[in-house]
């Protein structure tokens, strides 16, 4: 396989700010008569897999060269890179990978090419509903789902089996099972249920799973819905897991994905909420929980339905691209069923297309993927608004204060609501 040209994340935001004025000329430059597309994305594991897909596209489109622009791992840095470039109407990249929470912001700013004409016939019916909702603004499509992600429940299947339990369908049931197992095991190092409670975006994701899983919402009819009883009760339940039932240890108030992954991976927790990436790590040779881990749909609170928070990535086309039609074809190719199947089989990326969860070859190559379908199908996006990042920054400290017992759930939700409603006024302007 030939070596692929990559511009590895050395396009730091500061450097870009200096050179952005001449960016449009770079975007139209051809090499020896070949049309050049630049694909900006985060670093993927086994990068040769993505390179092989890109080369397949190049073979289908003679005269086209695709260059990969590999960005820093941090999503904050990626976001800043894009914003800096696109505010300057830069054409230095043509197709770019977008976190699910950025689409509305970028579409409102006019930075994303409207891809609706490509989906006139069937729309996005082949794709999971959560990513489609995130990709759509005012009935127009501005990005194509590339791969999905959603919160899932990990559990110690050996311990649940020993005590005669099936995976819990409600958080109340989870709490009861954990309490019984903890009492039976009499192991001071064993925790009941670990989740991400640190003040950061992960806490938003977890809190939404409790709020949506109790029939609540963050925004309804252009107002905050966090004052509503269902949302307040959901937040109270999160705090009570720590302070009342003690099923969740105090450490969750400072824990992120990796902290909880390590606790569960050390055999020190019965249940864990996390993303699907941890599955493969637990099955590696030398893992203390190898063969002991099960995964299931996240529970709901009694009387409601599980509602995992949507993660994942989509591909968008830079509206300032010198080759918008070709860039659109490339984005469609990488999000097509064949490409998503390769990414699922070789990299473990959960597909954003319904049909692949029933694909026999994928089931054989990566049996951990198909059981995720229900979680991916039911996954709900975070508030679909161009001001989501502002809302998140204001909501995080309020949720954290409630989870840590610094504020009551009612006070935290009231304070958060006042902030959110100020932001929502911007959307109506």
pLDDT computed for residue 73 by the predictor: 87
Considering the entire predicted model, what is its pTM?
Answer: 0.89
CA-CA distance, 251 to 258, in Å (whole number)?
Answer: 13
Looking at the predicted structure, is the pLDDT value of residue 31 above 60? no
> Are 6-150+311-378 and 152-307+387-428 equal in CATH topology?
yes
pLDDT class of 11 with cuts at 50, 70, 90: very low
Reply yes or no on domain 152-307+387-428 having CATH 3.30.1490.190. Answer: no
Res 426: pLDDT: 79
pLDDT band at 217 (very low <50, low <70, confident <90, very high): very high
pLDDT bucket at 34, cuts 50 / 70 / 90: confident
- Mean pLDDT rounded to a whole number for the chain: 92
Spans of all domains in the chain: 6-150+311-378, 152-307+387-428
Q: Can you name the CATH fold of 6-150+311-378?
A: D-Maltodextrin-Binding Protein; domain 2 (3.40.190)
Residues 50-102 have pLDDT tens digits of 999 999 999 999 999 999 999 998 999 999 999 999 999 999 999 999 999 99
Cα–Cα distance for residue pair 310/101, rounded to 1 Å? 9
Q: What is the mean pLDDT of residues 384-406?
A: 97
pLDDT digits (tens, 9 = 90+) for 253-269: 999 999 999 999 999 99
Would you state the pLDDT for residue 93? 98
Share of the chain above pLDDT 70, in %: 91
Residue 22 predicted with pLDDT over 70:
no
**Rounded CA separation 134/380 (Å):** 9
162, HSE (Cβ side, Cα atoms, 13 Å): 13
Q: What is the pLDDT of residue 121?
A: 53
pLDDT in the model for residue 33: 61
CB of 64 closer than 8 Å to CB of 34:
yes
Residue 6 above 90 pLDDT? no
Q: For residue 188, what pLDDT is reported?
A: 95
Q: Would you place residue 3 in the very low, low, confident or very high pLDDT band (cuts 50, 70, 90)?
A: very low
Q: How does pLDDT run across 125-142, given as a tens digit for each residue?
A: 899 999 999 999 999 999
């Amino acid at each position: 396989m030939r070596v692929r040209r990559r511009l590895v994340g050395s396009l730091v935001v500061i450097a870009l700010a200096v050179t952005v004025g001449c960016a449009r000329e770079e975007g139209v430059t051809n090499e020896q008569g070949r049309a050049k597309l630049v694909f900006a994305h985060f670093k993927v594991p086994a990068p040769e897999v993505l390179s092989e897909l890109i080369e397949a596209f190049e073979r289908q489109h003679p005269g086209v060269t695709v260059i990969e622009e590999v960005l820093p791992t941090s999503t904050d840095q990626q976001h800043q890179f894009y914003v800096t470039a696109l505010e300057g109407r830069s054409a230095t990249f043509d197709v770019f990978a977008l976190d699910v929470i950025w689409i509305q912001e970028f579409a409102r700013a006019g930075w994303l090419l409207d891809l609706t004409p490509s989906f006139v016939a069937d729309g996005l019916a082949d794709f999971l509903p959560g990513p489609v909702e995130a990709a759509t603004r005012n009935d127009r499509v501005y990005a194509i789902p590339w791969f999905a992600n959603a919160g899932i429940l990990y559990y110690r299947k050996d311990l649940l089996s020993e005590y005669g339990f099936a995976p819990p369908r409600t958080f109340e049931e989870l709490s009861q099972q954990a309490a019984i197992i903890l009492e039976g095991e009499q192991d001071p190092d064993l925790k009941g249920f670990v989740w991400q409670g640190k003040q950061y975006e992960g806490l938003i994701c977890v809190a939404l799973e409790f709020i949506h899983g109790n029939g609540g919402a963050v925004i309804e009819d252009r107002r905050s819905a966090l004052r509503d009883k269902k949302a307040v009760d959901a937040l109270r339940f999160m705090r009570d897991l720590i302070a009342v039932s003690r099923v969740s240890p105090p450490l969750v108030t400072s824990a992120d994905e990796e902290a909880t992954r390590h606790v569960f991976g050390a055999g020190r927790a019965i249940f864990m909420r996390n993303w699907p990436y941890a599955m493969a790590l637990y099955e590696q040779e030398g893992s203390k929980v190898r063969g002991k881990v099960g995964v299931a749909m996240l529970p709901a609170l009694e009387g409601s339905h599980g509602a995992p928070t949507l993660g994942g990535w989509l591909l968008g086309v830079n509206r300032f691209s010198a080759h918008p039609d070709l860039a659109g074809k490339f984005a469609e190719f990488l999000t097509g069923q064949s490409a998503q199947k390769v990414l699922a089989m070789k990299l473990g990326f959960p597909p954003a297309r319904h049909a692949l969860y029933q694909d026999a070859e994928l089931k054989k190559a990566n049996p951990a993927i198909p059981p995720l379908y229900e979680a991916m199908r039911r996954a709900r996006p975070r508030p679909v608004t161009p001001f989501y990042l502002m809302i998140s920054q204001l909501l995080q400290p309020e949720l954290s204060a409630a989870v840590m017992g610094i504020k009551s759930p009612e006070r935290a939700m009231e304070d958060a609501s006042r902030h959110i409603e100020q932001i929502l006024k911007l959307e109506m302007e």
